[in-house]
Structure 1
Amino acid sequence: MVETETYTIEGPDGDVEEIELPAGLIDVFAEQGEDATVVVGDIVVQAFAQQAHVTVHHAEGDVPSDLEALNDEMERLFEERFGVSLADAMGHSH
């Protein structure tokens, strides 16, 4: 059995969620010397950016403007964190 590590996410209202991940998995995605919590944060930002992109750009029918605004902000936050646009990171744009 593989051991696990627990990471804690705290929301703005004080809600807390604990996430268990297999110990050592983060090392697969980390650059040498990179802190594990930064890697977890990077993956969270990537996941939300990708999901927002799919919701807005690959949905059938009209997308509400508030979702477009949320996606635009998520793309901005992605680029701020990684120094590259989401479109460049994904290899396509709309």
Structure 2
Amino acid sequence: MHTEDRPTPSWMAALAKVGRLTAREQEVFLLLADGPTNGEIAERLFITERTVRAHVVSILAKLGLWSRLKACLAAAAYTQTTTPTLAEAG
């Protein structure tokens, strides 16, 4: 059985910290689940790429993650384990 598709304990710890993110950081975090570029996120949220980069850096720090890839994987796991909210639906 492959375990690469399952969240690791460090991801689980990161998922428990999602509530520490600002509303905008949560938006960026949820968008990371699909693996878009900073430019694609910027277009979707009507912000600059530089602002997206700043949010990603903050997300990594607050969640204790070391790479964007881990953030993307954590976001994908998070979206599969939570119920959509109005912020996610919009």
Q: Same fold (TM over 0.5)?
A: no
Which gives a bigger RCO, structure 1 or 2 (Cα 8 Å, sep 6+)?
Answer: 2
Query: Counting helix residues as a fraction of each chain, which structure ranks higher?
Result: 2
Query: Counting strand residues as a fraction of each chain, which structure ranks higher?
Result: 1
TM-score by length of 1: 0.34
Larger Rg: 1
TM-score by length of 2: 0.35
